């Protein structure tokens, strides 16, 4: 029941260019290189749907993917990549602010946090603004394949301030992906 068709639809540089439709959107947010595009591919069960890269700053526009009949996943650019040219970084940050504050279709956020790094100021701020806007927040402690078994509970405890229980995920081992997919799909019901 859980595997639904997922297709790329459009790429937008600003809020005004986003698709006009009545799909409920769930967006992936997080630091550059944390694994947003990879997680979107894992949720969709397709390897090359969203473009991924070893180097940060790969996704530079707001990318829309249909998920089943009524949902859409939105792959967003990351933040925190210091080496991006300043004009591009400013444009992306502006588009992100507009999208997160003003996109009426947006119902949920998948907030990715590197399990080894933990939640920092930016992630706590994003979680707080999601709660304020009434968005459903899915916190994901990702790249958990890089944690030692003994580090897992400390990684989860570090994220307690997000006020939502994070899901440990890895696109390499597949851990957490089915659970996250089920939760995302239930946001569309």
Ligand X SMILES: Nc1nc2c(ncn2[C@@H]2O[C@H](COP(=O)(O)OP(=O)(O)OP(=O)(O)O)[C@@H](O)[C@H]2O)c(=O)[nH]1
Query: By the criterion CB under 6 A, which residues form the site for ligand X?
Result: 30, 32-38, 52-54, 56-59, 77-78, 142-143, 145-146, 170-172
**38 near Mg ion (CB under 5 A):** no
DSSP letter (8 states) at residue 162: G
User: Between 12 and 31, how does the x/- string for binding to Mg ion read (CB under 5 A)?
Assistant: --------------------
Choice from 59, 63, 142, 170 touching Mg ion (CB under 5 A): 59
Listed residue (143, 113, 142) closest to 125, CA to CA = 113
**Sheet strand arrangement including 62-67:** 6-12, 62-67, 71-75, 24-29, 106-114, 136-142, 167-168
- CB of 133: closest distance to Mg ion in angstroms? 23
Count of positions on this chain that bind Mg ion (CB under 5 A): 4
Pairing relationship of beta strands 24-29 and 71-75 according to DSSP bridges: parallel
- Shortest separation between residue 16's beta carbon and ligand X, angstroms: 22
Give the Å distances, CA to CA, from 34 to 30, 43, 105: 6, 15, 24
143 binds Mg ion, rule: CB under 5 A: no
Q: Enumerate binding residues for Mg ion (CB under 5 A).
A: 36-37, 58-59
């Amino acid at each position: 029941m859980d595997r639904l068709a997922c297709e790329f639809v459009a790429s937008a540089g600003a809020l005004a260019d986003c698709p006009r439709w009545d799909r409920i959107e769930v967006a992936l947010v997080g630091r550059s290189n944390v694994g947003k595009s990879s997680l979107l591919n894992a949720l969709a069960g397709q390897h090359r749907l969203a473009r991924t890269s070893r180097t940060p700053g790969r996704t530079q526009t707001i990318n829309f993917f249909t998920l089943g009949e009524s949902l859409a996943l939105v792959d967003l650019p990351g933040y925190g990549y210091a080496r991006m040219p300043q004009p591009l970084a400013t444009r992306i940050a502006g588009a992100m602010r507009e999208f997160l504050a003003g996109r009426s279709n947006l119902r949920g956020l998948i907030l990715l946090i590197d399990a080894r790094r933990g939640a920092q100021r930016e992630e706590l701020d994003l979680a707080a603004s999601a709660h304020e806007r009434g968005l459903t927040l899915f916190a994901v402690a990702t790249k958990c394949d890089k944690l030692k078994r003994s580090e897992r509970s400390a990684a989860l405890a570090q994220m307690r301030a997000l006020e939502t229980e994070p899901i440990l995920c890895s696109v390499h081992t597949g851990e957490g992906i089915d659970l996250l997919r089920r939760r995302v799909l239930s946001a569309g019901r």
